[in-house]
Every structure is written in C-alpha cells, then in structure tokens.
Amino acid sequence: MSVLIKSVRLYGEGDPVDVLVADGEIADIGTGLSGDEVVDATGCVLLPGFVDLHTHLREPGREDTETIETGSAAAALGGYTAVFAMANTNPVADSPVVTDYVRRRGEEVGLVDVHPVGAVTVGLKGEQLAEMGMMAAGTGRVRVFSDDGMCVYDPLIMRRALEYASTLGVLIAQHAEEPRLTKGAVAHEGPNAARLGLTGWPRAAEESIVARDALLARDAGAKVHICHASTAGTVEILKWAKSQGIQITAEVTPHHLLLDDSRLETYDAVNKVNPPLREKSDVEALRAGLAQGVIDCVATDHAPHAEQDKCCEFSQARPGMLGLETALSVIVETMVNTGLLDWRGVARVMSERPAEIAGLDDQGRPIEIGEPANLTIVDPSASSKVDKLNSLAKNTPFRGMELPGRVVGTMLRGRVTALNGEVRR
C-alpha cells in the first residue's frame, strides 16, 4: 500500500510538493501524484523522522511508569522514528539478556526503532566494566553505552571504557556529574537554591567531568558523547575541545533550553531534574551553542516517574521529566520562533546529527527518492496548550503552557505510526 503525503514543504522550503511513499521508501516527489492513502499536509513541513539519543523507557522494572509499548507510542506521537533506551532499568541493561530483550520488544511493538543502550559498568556502579563486547555482538546490537543516571566518575575506568569502546567501534555517552560535588544536591547551586534552602549542584560538577573526558578521549583517540549539557561553561569547554579536533559530541534537552531555576519557587518536584534547571544565562548559552553546532543535537532525557515519586518532599522526589511528546514544540518555541534555527536546522539537531552520532545509516537521511521513508510531518502554525500526554507517567513541567508547532504525523519505513494525535499500531 502506498501513502501520499499531499502538499507539503520539504524542510519548510520552496513550493509545496507531493511525496509518494511505497515499499518503505520515498518513491516519488512531484506534483499531482496519487497514492492509496492520502495524508493532507497542506501548510505543513516535512522533516526526517526524529532520533532521540536519550530516552528512559523503564522496562524492565518500572512498568508502572512507562513500558516499551507506551514509550514507543509517546515517541511516535512526538515525531520520533528511533529512540535509544537508557540502561538504568531494573535489572540494569548491563548484559545481553536485557539488551537483546529491549531490542526484541521494541520490534514487536513496531512503532519506533528502539535501540538498547548498554551500561558501561556492572550495575551502573562505576567499578567494573560491563561486557560491552557481548552486548554489541548480541541480537540487541548495542552501539551506545552509558551509565546515565550515574557518572562513570573513576577516571581510570572511564579511560578503559573509552579505549575498549574505540576498538569495538561503539560510543560512550557520559552523564557528567562529579559525585563528590553533588552529594545531597537537589537544585542548581545559586541564589535561588540558597534562598529556598535547597542543597546546591554546582556547575563545576558537570564541567570538570566534561573537561576530563575530553582529555581522556583525546588520548585514547576515542569518541565521547556528553549527555544533557546544562551550563554555559560546558558550552565553552565543548567549543575548545572541538577546536582541538577532539571527537566529542553533546546533546541538550528541551527543558534546559526553556526552563530555569526560577521555577523552583513552588517546591513542586515536577521541576526537579538531573542535571538541574540552571540560570537564564545558561539557557541563553545552551541555545546559542545548539544554534552554532557546538552542541550537536537535542535529546529528550524523557524520564517518566510515578506520582508517589514526584508528589513528595522535594529532597525525596526522583529527578526527571517527560519529554518525547513535547520536544518539537519546545524546540519551535526556543529555537525557531527566536530565529536561532530554521527548519533545516531543526532537521539537523533532531534527526541528522543524532543519527550520525549513533551510527544509524537509515535514519536522518535526506528527503529524496530512494531514501527510507522515516518522516515527520509538522504543522508550524498550530499552537496548543499542553494537557494530557500519552505516557503512563504524568510528570511534565510543561502542563498548561501554550506551545507552538504540532507533530501531525510520523512514518516509520513507510508505515504511518501516528497521525493527528492517534497512534496506529
């Protein structure tokens, strides 16, 4: 069955065209085309399907907050065609038993390509390297490894992990947080946390690890990827490291591009996240860094949590925010409507760069005849109030906000996975 995307502007450029999709590929691009199913995309922009390098799907272990199935649905609704499922599950994804399962379950659900992330160290404890080789060789085909949630803090373990990863041809993604500087920390260290009596998480805890890992990657001739960059100083260090030819890449989350620590005023733990929301000056630096390519891409750090783990004392609440279904709108608000990125730029930071960083050869591809039909249709003129989302968990800090741009439809290898807010299983 063929699908015709009717009257859409590729990357928001030029005149509207029709895009015919058949057998999983883009079969034709032109005007006056016809197909079996027609998706009217008048006024919409066509982009390559989004790729999220950083998603917590919570299966196995916390299926009360999200599953591979519910998270895949949220991803499809958010315009994603591939997500990387983080390893901090229970049990931890530190062996092929778990990573093979995550890949297979993602395939069964079939709404988005679910790539398992393997742990760098056994049990995320930071002490002993996990069997990365076995996870890479298994049916899970793991290509990205991370202890996310925890930092690979020991410099010798990190050095060995980078060396090992480089011989395997896989990527290490670091959650940069020097744990001795963040003991008991729940909020960005600054005037707001001080006034509110919250223990501070200093910028240096992130920046010192980013700088250290840049040097370790340089010496190992390895690649390193920095998760959720959150400070102006991190942007400066990345700029320096890239200027030295170090193979370092970085992501930023939608929430760090929009929100700052003035949100803490209410003590509502929906605003608690790790790394924490920083100051306005950091938000500005992150936006500029993303626009200039110093930060390579956007990653959601979609982190579902149960009501009882969020609606409690701020210090006891778990850190993390939902992100998959709101990412595009937050990027339109912070990057497109501010003139920092055009739609080509959105394609770069939400699809092309993350696909390149993870080494996916069928995602983030140009919208051309013969290319795999992993596509996202966006209505740039729509605007809506964030209300109920489709994740199992409810912890979105964006609830009630009026945000621009809407994902109208998503297509995975030519199959419509979401259309007009409905998932197509």
In the complex, which residues of this chain contact Zn ion (CB under 5 A)? 148, 175, 227
- Concatenating the DSSP letter of every residue in 145-157 gives EE-TTS----HHH
Kindly state the tokens that stand for 199: 């223990």
User: Closest separation between CB of residue 194 and Zn ion, Å?
Assistant: 24
User: Closest separation between CB of residue 200 and Zn ion, Å?
Assistant: 18
Nearer to ligand DOR among residue 303 and residue 408 (C-beta): 303
Q: Which residue is nearest to ligand DOR (CB)?
A: 320
Nearer to ligand DOR among residue 330 and residue 407 (C-beta): 330
Distance CA 236, CA 56 (A): 28
Identify what 273 binds: Zn ion, ligand DOR, none; CB under 5 to 8 Å per kind.
ligand DOR
245 backbone φψ class: left, alpha, beta (φ>0; ψ -120 to 50): left
Nearer to ligand DOR among residue 149 and residue 254 (C-beta): 149
Distance CA 197, CA 194 (A): 5
Rounded to the nearest 10°, the torsion over CA 272, 278, 283, 287 is: -70
Q: Catalytic site residue 154?
A: no
Identify what 56 binds: Zn ion, ligand DOR, none; CB under 5 to 8 Å per kind.
ligand DOR
Nearer to ligand DOR among residue 182 and residue 376 (C-beta): 182
User: Closest separation between CB of residue 323 and ligand DOR, Å?
Assistant: 10
CA distances from 229 to 163, 185, 253, 272, 358 (A): 23, 17, 8, 16, 17
Q: Which residue is nearest to Zn ion (CB)?
A: 175
User: Closest separation between CB of residue 160 and ligand DOR, Å?
Assistant: 22
Instruction: Tell me the β-bridge partners of 46.
Output: 10, 377
Nearer to ligand DOR among residue 190 and residue 397 (C-beta): 397
Identify what 303 binds: Zn ion, ligand DOR, none; CB under 5 to 8 Å per kind.
ligand DOR
User: Closest separation between CB of residue 320 and Zn ion, Å?
Assistant: 9
Distance CA 274, CA 372 (A): 35
Instruction: Tell me the β-bridge partners of 107.
Output: none
* CB within 8 Å of 305: residues ≥ 6 apart: 65, 317, 318, 320, 393, 395
Nearer to Zn ion among residue 189 and residue 206 (C-beta): 206
Q: Catalytic residue, from 113, 301, 309, 379: name it.
A: 301
226 backbone φψ class: left, alpha, beta (φ>0; ψ -120 to 50): beta
The candidate with the shortest Cα–Cα distance to 132, out of 163, 174, 101, is 163
Interface positions with ligand DOR (CB under 6 A)? 56, 88, 148-149, 175, 273-274, 301, 303, 318-320
Identify what 376 binds: Zn ion, ligand DOR, none; CB under 5 to 8 Å per kind.
none
User: Closest separation between CB of residue 293 and Zn ion, Å?
Assistant: 22
The candidate with the shortest Cα–Cα distance to 210, out of 226, 221, 223, is 226
Is residue 172 a contact partner of residue 145, using CB atoms and an 8 Å limit? yes
Identify what 88 binds: ligand DOR, Zn ion, none; CB under 5 to 8 Å per kind.
ligand DOR
Active site residues: 301
